[in-house]
Amino acid sequence: MKIWLDGALRDSETARVSVFDHGLTVGDGIFETVKAVDGRPFALTRHLDRLTRSARGLGLPDPDLDEVRRACAAVLEANPVPLGRLRLTYTGGHGPLGSDRGDQGPTLVVALGGTARRPDTTAVVTVPWTRNERGALTGLKTTSYAENVVALARAHEHGATEALFANTVGQLCEGTGSNVFVVLDGEIHTPPLASGCLAGITRALVAEWTGAKETDLPLDVLREADEIFLTSTLRDVQAVHRVDDRELSATPGPVTAKAMRIFDERSAADIDP
Ligand code: PLP
């Protein structure tokens, strides 16, 4: 596969990043996952805005968005697939061990993966660990994903594909790599950004297109919600058929099925290619 690394397309087998890259040594990095259909990136400007916000939050230099756009186009052209997800990784770059920052400029990698279409439904578990709604990294899409890896392993132990977190005050927050929506009395609700969740691009579009409300929700809402669904670049809109030991009947339920349809139809139109 051809990837983009520091200014040029390279072969993924031979492309190399320094072993002293701060993305590796201290997790000083950010990323984006961007859906691409027939070689066209979806909602790229929204992703690049979030990449810049994440960079500023971490104190990294602003990414050169012209280069990022060129890199995305080059990787898609070199690896033609009907459906894929671009993975943009941007780190503090090479620097001596123990230094605060890389000293030779940031590292940019753009690769392509994620060619599978999501299953329509999935099982999820809740985990006992909390998301910090007031942390230094809250709302930033950083490569420091170890907490999510641990939670996801818990999900896999229980035959689920996603783990849902509450925040430190017991409110429903988000999944390891997805946002969460619940249906109560026919209305769609999703936790507000103040819950500590990531400002998901899919979340924003689904909320806009379905009129979902931002609502503080206790974690326990998952026991009584009529329907539950997840959103993310990898999952699009995905119905939840089991949460912990609770089976939800007839998934996707009618409201979720409608949200899936609306998302599929509206996202098929070019959103800022
Ligand atoms: N929440 C977290 C923690 C994520 O990592 C992601 C995506 O990777 C999302 C939510 C969903 O965001 P998006 O819809 O932009 O993919």
Q: What is the mean pLDDT of each run of 10 residues along the chain (273 residues)?
A: 96 96 94 95 97 97 97 97 96 90 92 91 98 96 96 98 98 98 98 98 98 98 98 97 95 96 90 63
**What is the reported pLDDT for 75?**
98
Decide if 225 contacts 182 (C-beta within 8 A). yes
Ligand 1: distance of its center to the CA of 179 in Å?
Answer: 6
User: To which residue do tokens 């671009």 refer?
Assistant: 86
Ligand 1: distance of its center to the CA of 108 in Å?
Answer: 20
CB of 143 within 6 A of ligand 1: the answer is: no
Atom of ligand 1 nearest to the CA of 176: 3
CB of 195 within 6 A of ligand 1: the answer is: no
CB of 114 within 6 A of ligand 1: the answer is: no
Ligand 1: distance of its center to the CA of 240 in Å?
Answer: 16
CB of 200 within 6 A of ligand 1: the answer is: yes
CB of 180 within 6 A of ligand 1: the answer is: no
**What is the reported pLDDT for 273?**
54
**What is the reported pLDDT for 63?**
98
**What is the reported pLDDT for 101?**
83
Query: Kindly report the CA angle at 178 between 28 and 199, in degrees rounded to 5?
Result: 65
Q: Residues 92, 93, 98, 99: is their CA dihedral positive or negative? A: negative
Q: Which of 89, 148, 179, 267 to mutate to test the pocket of ligand 1 (most atoms within 8 A of CB)?
A: 179
Ligand 1: distance of its center to the CA of 34 in Å?
Answer: 10
Ligand 1: distance of its center to the CA of 28 in Å?
Answer: 18
**What residue owns the CA closest to ligand 1's atom 5?**
177
Decide if 164 contacts 76 (C-beta within 8 A). no
Q: Which of 89, 203, 232, 233 to mutate to test the pocket of ligand 1 (most atoms within 8 A of CB)?
A: 232
**What is the reported pLDDT for 194?**
98
Give residues with Cβ within 8 angstroms of 79, minimum separation 6. 1, 2, 112
Atom of ligand 1 nearest to the CA of 234: 16
Distance (Å, rounded) from C-alpha 190 to C-alpha 197? 10
CB of 232 within 6 A of ligand 1: the answer is: yes
Query: For residue 61, is the peptide bond before it cis, meaning its omega torsion is within 30 degrees of 0?
Result: no
CB of 207 within 6 A of ligand 1: the answer is: no
**What is the reported pLDDT for 125?**
98
pTM of the predicted model, to two decimals? 0.96
**What residue owns the CA closest to ligand 1's atom 8?**
177
